[in-house]
């Protein structure tokens, strides 16, 4: 992928973009969350995205978060349309024992959060984000080869042209370096369901 085609939503103070590598130094008190549960809202995390009107594709990237060490430190993939319509998937640091591998989908200004616990020793994850029109599948891998489904979801506003890419944030008083490599854009690896009509490309 040509990273020159990626543009910032909220450019961070300190970052580096090379041919196939993005390095972000995260500012404290940055996050993406809307309303649900405790009415908290935050919309200031840096997001680096490309734009496409392709209805069927898969985007894969490796996220390295070796320096994450504070509660809720996170970095991963995102589809950020506007402040009230987006999705993200990442590992969120919790403590020295475990982390939360999870995803948030925000539609019409309300966020959810789906997670599972993984070992705190894991410090890199590959993500594969697949689009089928306004539906998405998020997968993860710990070796870059074998991917497991995290969730299937819908974005109400993902019509026509969308933006997709990577993000990172530190919701509390923390700062760490997130590194993204192995960017790839391919045909959609999320195939039509048995009995479903063929894709209209």
Q: Check which CATH number belongs to the domain holding 126 and give it.
A: 2.60.120.200
Report if residue 191 sits inside a domain: no
Report if residue 101 sits inside a domain: yes
Res. 154: pLDDT tops 80: yes
137: domain range?
Answer: 3-186
Q: How confident is the prediction for the chain on average, in pLDDT?
A: 95
Can you spell out the DSSP letters for 5-41? Answer: G-EEES--SEEEEETTEEEEEPPBS--EEESTTT--E
Confidence of residue 201 (pLDDT cuts 50, 70, 90): low
Res. 23: pLDDT tops 90: yes
Report if residue 193 sits inside a domain: no
Q: How are the residues of the chain apportioned to helix, strand and coil, as percentages rounded to the nearest 5?
A: 0, 55, 40
Res. 157: pLDDT tops 90: yes
Instruction: Put residue 125 in one of left, alpha, beta given phi > 0 → left and psi -120 to 50 → alpha.
Output: beta
> Any idea which of 29-38, 115-124, 127-136 has the lowest mean pLDDT?
29-38
Report if residue 196 sits inside a domain: no
| Share above pLDDT 90 across residues of the chain, in percent, rounded to a whole number | 93
* pTM score, whole prediction: 0.94
Cα torsion 129, 131, 132, 137 to 10°: value is: 30
Contact 179, 20 (CB under 8 A): no
Token readout for 72 is 């809720």
Token readout for 2 is 């040509």
Report if residue 21 sits inside a domain: yes
Report if residue 194 sits inside a domain: no
Report if residue 85 sits inside a domain: yes
pLDDT value for 105: 98
Give the count of domains, the chain.
Answer: 1
Interval 91-116: pLDDT, tens:
999 999 999 999 999 999 999 999 99
Report if residue 65 sits inside a domain: yes
């Amino acid at each position: 992928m040509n990273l020159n085609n990626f543009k910032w939503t909220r450019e961070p103070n300190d970052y580096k973009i090379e041919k196939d590598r993005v390095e972000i130094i995260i500012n404290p008190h940055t996050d993406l969350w809307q309303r649900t549960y405790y009415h908290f809202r935050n919309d200031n995390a840096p997001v680096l995205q490309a734009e496409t009107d392709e209805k069927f594709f898969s985007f894969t990237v490796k996220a390295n978060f070796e320096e994450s060490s504070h509660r809720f430190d996170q970095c991963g993939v995102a589809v950020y349309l506007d402040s009230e319509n987006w999705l993200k998937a990442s590992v969120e640091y919790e403590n020295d024992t475990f982390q939360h591998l999870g995803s948030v989908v925000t539609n019409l200004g309300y966020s959810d959060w789906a997670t599972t616990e993984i070992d705190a020793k894991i410090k890199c994850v590959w993500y594969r984000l697949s689009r089928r029109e306004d539906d998405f599948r998020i997968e993860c891998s710990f070796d870059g080869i074998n991917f497991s489904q995290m969730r299937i979801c819908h974005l109400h506003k993902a019509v026509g042209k969308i933006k997709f890419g990577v993000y990172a944030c530190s919701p509390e008083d923390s700062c760490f370096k997130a590194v993204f490599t192995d960017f790839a854009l391919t045909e959609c690896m999320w195939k039509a369901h048995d009995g479903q009509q063929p894709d209209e490309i």
